[in-house]
Amino acid sequence: MPELPEMETLRRDLDREVGGKRIKTIDAPGRSAFSRMPKKQVLERLDGVKISSADRRGLLLTLKLDSGELLVIDVRESGGMRKTTPKEETAKGTQVVISFTQGGQLRLIDPEGNMNVWVATPEELLEQEPVLTELGLDPVVEPISWTTFGHLLLSRAQTVKQFLTDPTAVVGIGPVYSDEIIWQSGLRHDRETNQLTSQEMRRLYRAVVETLHDGAKHRGTTLADGNYHDLAGKPGGYQDMLQVYERAGEACRRCRGTIAKVRYSKSHVFMCPDCQV
CA gap 207, 220 in Å, rounded: 16
Q: Which is nearer to Zn ion, 109 or 252 (CB)?
A: 252
Among 75, 170, 196, 272, binds Zn ion (CB under 5 A): 272
CA gap 266, 256 in Å, rounded: 28
The answer to whether 18 and 106 are in contact (CB under 8 A) is yes
Q: Which is nearer to Zn ion, 21 or 189 (CB)?
A: 189
Helices (H), 19-145: 39-46, 122-128
Among 166, 190, 246, 274, binds Zn ion (CB under 5 A): 274
The minimum distance between CB 254 and Zn ion, in angstroms, equals 5
Q: Which is nearer to Zn ion, 105 or 178 (CB)?
A: 178
Asked whether position 262 contacts Zn ion by CB under 5 A, the answer is: no
Q: Which is nearer to Zn ion, 11 or 247 (CB)?
A: 247
The minimum distance between CB 256 and Zn ion, in angstroms, equals 7
The minimum distance between CB 185 and Zn ion, in angstroms, equals 12
Q: Which is nearer to Zn ion, 63 or 252 (CB)?
A: 252
What residues from 220 to 259 belong to the interface with Zn ion (CB under 5 A)? 252, 254-255, 257
Burial code (b: 16+ CB inside 10 Å, e: under 16) for 15-41 equals: bebbeebebeebebebebbbeebebee
Task: Determine how many CB atoms are found less than 10 A away from the CB of residue 159.
Answer: 20
Query: What angle, 0 to 180 degrees and rounded to 10, lies between the N-to-C axes of helices 198-217 and 4-18?
Result: 40
Q: What one-character-per-residue DSSP string does 43-80 give? A: HHHHTT-BEEEEEEETTEEEEEETTS-EEEEE-TTT-E
Q: Residue 199 — φ and ψ, nearest 5°? A: -65, -40
The minimum distance between CB 275 and Zn ion, in angstroms, equals 3
Q: Which is nearer to Zn ion, 106 or 182 (CB)?
A: 182
Q: Which is nearer to Zn ion, 231 or 259 (CB)?
A: 259
Give me the count of residues in the chain. 277
> If you compute the radius of gyration of the chain from its CA atoms, what whole number of angstroms results?
20
The minimum distance between CB 211 and Zn ion, in angstroms, equals 16
# chain residues binding Zn ion, by CB under 5 A: 7
Q: Which stretch binds Zn ion (CB under 5 A): 1-9, 25-33, 169-177, 264-272?
A: 264-272
Binding site for Zn ion (CB under 5 A): 252, 254-255, 257, 272, 274-275
